[in-house]
Amino acid sequence: MSKRPVVLVVMDGVGINASEFGNAVKKAYKPTLDELWANCPHTEIKAHGLAVGLPSDGDMGNSEVGHNALGCGQIYSQGAKLVNENIETGEIFKTETWEALVNNCKEGTMHFLGLLSDGNVHSHINHLKALIKKAKEDGVKEVRIHALLDGRDVPETSALIYIEDIENYMAELNDDNFHACIASGGGRMTITMDRYEANWAMVEKGWHVHVLGEGRQFASASEAVETFRDETGVIDQDLPGFVIAKDGKPVGTIEDGDSVVLFNFRGDRAQEISLAFDGDDSFDKFDRVRMPKVMYAGMLQYDADLNIPHNFLTYPPKIKYTLTEELCKHGIREYAISETQKYGHVTYFWNGNRSEKFDEKLEDYVEITSDVVPFEQRPWMKSAEITDVLCAAIESGNYDFLRTNYPNGDMVGHTGNFEATVIGVESVDLQLARVKKAVDAVNGILIVTADHGNADEMYEKKKKEDAPVKSKTSHTLNKVPFIVYGADVELKQDEDLGLSNVAATVADLLEVAPNEHWNTSIIKK
């Protein structure tokens, strides 16, 4: 192909925020990004709320829905919105899966495992309430909650608010024929919710806590949280696992004849624990010690191609007409690369929740293995290694469209460590200079954008002037940059531009007609 190659860089978690308060992006020394913004066609685009298929513009975006929108050029109902619709219509409870889950545990226990918060990124406490209520209505006698604590998509020490909320809700439902309570828990970055097989030890810890009832015992979840805070000072996402016990006996181990529902709707941190429950005797990621005979289901199917999990309550959006599929029709050679933490985003999520390639001959994917260390201790992550391989691919002349994701602004931003996040943003800028040089060498075009904000707002907004500064670990509602380098184009400045407008823009730059189902290009014509 003789057309100029196009390289798209996603700076994960790098949003636009006019305020300097807690803004690691503004604080960072980033001469390359600043130069591109000052001298190249640029605009701001939405990466949250309605623009990525979420229920309202008060819902922060995330990497999964962001890469779905980037890669398919359309807006689909996503995550919480999709589940909300199915709960409101009652469709979720009319499925064969729900009926089987209920019937399976009439003589046992229904277990609900998931992130206990209203962050609306991985889960929502209202979904859990609806499941508990319907379980009682359908004749289930015993319900146990295995509560993963957030502090990442919600304020970092807000766990007790959600614990009190769900316990009060269950207390109103409990009677002589029904009993629901919290059985276990722990911080989301300590147990259970690993992703991309980066740290199976997290999942193993969760298995021992939730299934086997092995762990430090407490009389209540509140006692566990308060005790660990006093002893360690960690925020919610890093709380150790705990088991609720009465008279020295765990109140909710998972046994033969029980049913288990993972009520998270986001897929990346749901797949590994799902594999542990669904896996047969060939499962070798860790020793499960005891494998109870249960019926297991997810809120959604987290990977349709790999059938994870086998049973699920809400069907994911059927994403059609993706950018990759369209480019393959035109013989465009594609390349995708990131490190483990975001590899699935530039492949699976980008391609519309599809694991398999559309064309083996036209698509090459590369994963750089992430380090298993706290991100604030190594905020540069694998940015240099990604760039080494990406630049070689650009300069090889073998590809027409290349894409990458630098996770630093997001993954380091989630730690709440401002200084480390500044370094993370600076690390990406260093590599962006190298990518720009490689693009120049092949007379290419460079697009720089982000999938959502995070590093741009690292402190909670003060409610009182004299209030102490508190770290913010969640994503933001800010717009993200969209920059085109190396092409003489004029970009729209419309208020409603979003991530779903990027696919048509890439097609324009590759001189390929955009698919008729896509949202319009950002380039003025």
pLDDT value for 463? 67
DSSP class per residue in 254-296: --TT-EEEE----STTTHHHHHHHH--TT--SS--S-----EE
Cβ-based neighbour number of residue 390 at 10 Å: 26
pLDDT value for 304? 61
pLDDT value for 460? 86
508 is in an annotated binding site: no
122 is in an annotated binding site: yes
pLDDT value for 481? 98
451 is in an annotated binding site: yes
288 is in an annotated binding site: no
Q: Summarize pLDDT for 111-168 with one digit per residue, the tens.
A: 999 999 999 889 999 999 999 999 999 999 999 999 999 999 999 999 999 999 999 9
pLDDT value for 466? 76
Domains and CATH numbers, the chain: 6-78+318-509 (3.40.720.10), 80-314 (3.40.1450.10)
266 is in an annotated binding site: yes
| The one catalytic residue among 63, 338, 370, 427 | 63
410 is in an annotated binding site: yes
290 is in an annotated binding site: no
12 is in an annotated binding site: yes
414 is in an annotated binding site: yes
Full-model pTM: 0.77
282 tagged catalytic: no
434 is in an annotated binding site: no
- Residue 157: which of 229, 68, 235, 81 has the closest Cα? 235
Distances (CA, A) of 273 to 53, 88, 105, 297, 419: 26, 27, 20, 11, 33
pLDDT value for 315? 76
Given a contact cutoff of 8 angstroms between Cβ atoms, the answer to whether 161 and 127 are in contact is no
The pair of three-digit structure tokens given for residue 470, joined into one six-digit string: 């508190």
| List of the chain residues with pLDDT < 50 | 1
Distances (CA, A) of 130 to 137, 240, 376, 422, 444: 11, 28, 37, 41, 52
Distances (CA, A) of 480 to 8, 77, 212, 278: 14, 21, 44, 38
